[in-house]
A = this chain, B = another copy of it.
Amino acid sequence: MTPEMRPFSQSLPMALLRAREAAMRRFRPMLAEHDLTEQQWRVLRALSASDDPVSIGEVADHTFLLGPSLSRILVNLEQRRLVERSTNEHDQRSALLTLSGDGHALVGRIAPRSEEIYNGIEAQFGADRLVALLEELAALSSLDTVPDHIRAEVS
C-alpha cells in the first residue's frame, strides 16, 4: 500500500471515468445499432447543436478530438453522407461543416431514444440532483479556463 496517496476509489479522474462508464453503458448499444463509435457520435452531436456551419477546429475543441483523429472521422462521416463540407469564403484555409439531411435524420432517430435513457437516469437519480451535478461538473471543467476579459489583460 501507498498510504501517502488518496485511495484509488476516491481519485477524481477514476471517479469521473467510473461515472462516465456507468452512463455510457446505457447509451452504447444504441450507438452500436447505428454503427457509430462514441467519437463519431460526438462529432454528429456537436454539429447538430448548431444551425450554422462550424469550422473543423471548433468541432475538435468541442469534442476533445485531435486534428488527425477528426480528419479521419470526417472522411468516414462524409462517405456515409452524414456530414457536408464547405469552404469559408472569408478564409480559404478553414473548412466549414454542417450536418447533411441524412445526418439530421439520423440524429433525429437517435434523439428520442437518447432522451428516454436520460429520463431513466433522471428518474433514478433525481432531476434536480442531476442538474446540480452538471453544474458542479461545469464548474470543475472551467477551473483552469481563464475568463476572456482576464486573459486579455494577461496576454
Q: How many copies does the complex hold?
A: 2
Establish whether residues B7 and A49, one from each chain, have CB atoms under 8 Å apart when the complex forms.
yes
Docked complex: A113-155 residues within 8 A CB-CB of B: 114-115, 118, 121, 124-125, 129-130, 132-134, 136-144
Contact with B along A1-26 (1 / 0, CB 8 A): 11011111111111111111111111
Q: Which of chain B's residues have a CB closer than 8 A to the CB of A45?
A: 8, 11, 14
Establish whether residues A10 and B134, one from each chain, have CB atoms under 8 Å apart when the complex forms.
yes
> Which of B1, B11, B64 is within 8 Å of A18, CB to CB?
B64
Asked if A85 lies at the interface with its beta carbon under 8 angstroms from chain B, I say no
A contact residues vs B (CB 8 Å cutoff):
1-2, 4-27, 42, 45-46, 48-51, 62, 64, 104, 107-108, 111-112, 114-115, 118, 121, 124-125, 129-130, 132-134, 136-144
23 A-B residue contacts at CB 8 Å?
A: A2-B111, A4-B111, A4-B115, A5-B114, A7-B49, A11-B45, A12-B118, A12-B134, A14-B42, A14-B45, A15-B137, A16-B137, A17-B64, A18-B141, A19-B137, A19-B140, A19-B141, A22-B143, A22-B144, A23-B140, A129-B136, A133-B133, A133-B140
